A = this chain, B = another copy of it.
Amino acid sequence: MLSKNQIKLITLLKQKKYRVKHNLFVAEGIKTINELLHSDFELSHLYTTTLDFSASDVLTTLISEKELKKISFLKTPNTALALFKIPMPKKIDFSKLVVALDNVKDPGNLGTIIRLCDWFGLDNLICNLETVDCYNPKVIQATMGSIKRINITYTDLSELLNTRHETVFGTFMEGENVYKSNLPENGILVLGNESNGISEDISRTINKKISIPRFGNIKETESLNVANATAILLSEFKRRIIEK
């Protein structure tokens, strides 16, 4: 049985300020929940219509499908919804490539970028304070559980970049062709906002401008979506390591 207070709390967790206040976020779907149960993330509570999960009994409440529908953020709810504690970010390891996001606003894009970081073996992702919250339910959904392997830090990005000695890469129309650029094993790769690219403030901290060449010969072609640009750039950085 779900109490009114539980329903209220879960509903509030749609909003960032309540996630911060309660230090909790919502995960849905068997795959995502199972991934997080087998990780350093700490379960706060599991609400489920089946007993297929290996979570402690004390933290599990069996609910009806009707109840799940009431608390789910999805149009077609899965079989469970879990609350996990928001972890403290760990110290960032700059000895490997790190991705930094400047005002990425779309939850689907952030989720996809987290998945890409995971695929390409990155450990760290830095987000400026205006980037969408990674504990937003839509982001959690899009990461498919891979968020557990990426250490995500929200910080004043411009301040942080000013203190670092690694090369800071950013994509600009006039940047050097990335296929011909010298790409080191470490460094910081900045990706900007969906509409406006990298902000002026952050631009000043970039010391290597790169670009993904456009092969179509018509100039009006739209720019690449930020998640696709991330995919191509991470592929380029990592390919060099294989080829060494």
Measured CB to CB, the residues of A under 8 A from B are 35, 112, 115-116, 118-122, 144-146, 149, 177, 179-180, 212-218, 220-222, 224-225, 227-229, 231-232, 235-236, 238-239, 241-243
Contact = CB atoms under 8 A, between A and B. Distances in A.
Contact of A222 (B145, B221, B229, B239): B145
Nearest to A229: B231
A204 B61 CA distance: 48
A116 B215 contact: no
A213 B240 CA distance: 13
A144 B228 CA distance: 15
B221 A179 contact: no
For A122, A217, A224, A232, the residue with the greatest tally of chain B CB atoms inside 10 Å of its CB is A232
For the complex, would chain A's binding face be called helix, strand, loop or mixed by DSSP majority? helix
Copies of this protein in the assembly total 2
Given A115-B222, A118-B221, A145-B222, A242 B213 contact: yes
Contacts of A145: 220, 222
A238 B215 contact: yes
Nearest to A108: B108
Contact of A215 (B115, B121, B180): B121
A13 to B, nearest CB: 23
A232 B225 CA distance: 13
Contact of A144 (B116, B118, B120, B222): B222
B116 A216 contact: no
